[in-house]
Homo-oligomer: A and B are copies of this chain.
Amino acid sequence: MTLEDVARAAGVHYSTVSRALDPNKVWRVNEVTRKHVQAVARRMGYQRDMVASGLKRGRTHTVAVVVPDLGNPFIAPILRGIANRLESAGLMPLIGETQDDSERLERILGHLVSRRVDAIILAAARLGDASVLRRVSRQGIPVVLAVRKVPGNRLPACTNDELLGGALAAEHLLALGHHRVAQLRGPSDFYSTLERAQGFSKAVAKAGAVELTVASTAGSPTPDEGARLMRLLLDRSRSVPTAVFAHHDLMALGALTAMRERGLECPKDISLVGFHDLPQVDRVTPPLTTVRQPGEELGRIAAEMTVAMLNSPAQPPSSRSLAPTLIVRQSTAPREPGSPPIESVRKSKP
């Protein structure tokens, strides 16, 4: 079913059909023929072939969305925000999953330029990805970064205000009277975790409290990695923190199990703050105090920036960072003056 079929049925030339069906070109065709053609087209159930149209116009009305991990619950709302905003602009999301693997990312980006997507929303950038991105955006495909920035790059980005996020966590813990605090850091090649860590550390330093550090960072933001880092932290010989900031709720959950292994209670012995406010973390034991990231809005704005770039390629939108909010629940508590001595911790090691 092509333009020509419709044209034949309507008794006009197929270019006329094309114009009658294109909202931007209807002025080129008479009111009455237009109505007639539209009626015929509808009756025949004609659907414009977008791939032919895409070939001709160079617009596929498709936007790639590249995420690290579809299974990670914090991706879902972002995806949702993106999809909704794109749909209202007549665009559809084509998705790719990198699994935080640079080779996969490169392969996927190749596919995407090959498919001539109109733009790419990249929520999976890592620190080392600057050069690939340059290559892609030199091809003329607009790229907007979401969630994770990458430095040395003029690409517009929509991110959390990570400095603020880290600071919120720190200030909350400090306000509760904690002096010895620590972080369980996310993967070191995400710009987001760097800033998050920095925001936290700065606030701690400013308050004159002490931050105990673990050399290691999480390989991926999972409960297992959170547990590993927590164990490392508890194994320190000199001192143990009374409050901990995990860079990801999943890591926080892992940290909770690690604490339980050692016979420590949260928040009585150690307070814990997570990040993201994943679904259901308000229902775990204890309900998790966490820094909420506005996932859906973040996605929506990233998509918004994308359509802005498509509409006026000359003026790239400026980056935005969204303020997270602290959600206080029950995994944080005031420091007990006599917090448990280190010995008791080490003794109860299995």
Contacts and interface: CB of A to CB of B under 8 A. Distances in A.
Given A115-B50, A280-B280, A284-B283, A93 B94 contact: yes
A129 interface: no
Interface residues of A, number: 45
A174 to B, nearest CB: 27
Given A71-B80, A75-B76, A97-B80, A50 B284 contact: no
Contact of A51 (B47, B60, B95): B60
A77 B84 contact: no
A284 B288 CA distance: 11
Interface in A18-59: 47-52, 54-55
A254 to B, nearest CB: 10
A86 to B, nearest CB: 10
A281 interface: yes
A80 B75 CA distance: 12
A8 interface: no
A281 B285 CA distance: 11
A255 to B, nearest CB: 12
Q: How many copies of this protein are present in the complex?
A: 2
A278 interface: yes
Contacts of A256: 283
Contacts of A48: 114
Contacts of A279: 73, 280
Given A51-B116, A95-B95, A280-B280, A72 B76 contact: yes
A70 interface: yes
A113 B49 CA distance: 8
25 contacts: A47-B113, A47-B114, A49-B55, A49-B116, A50-B115, A50-B116, A51-B60, A51-B115, A55-B55, A62-B115, A69-B80, A71-B76, A71-B80, A73-B73, A73-B279, A79-B95, A83-B97, A84-B97, A87-B97, A92-B94, A95-B95, A253-B280, A280-B281, A280-B283, A285-B285
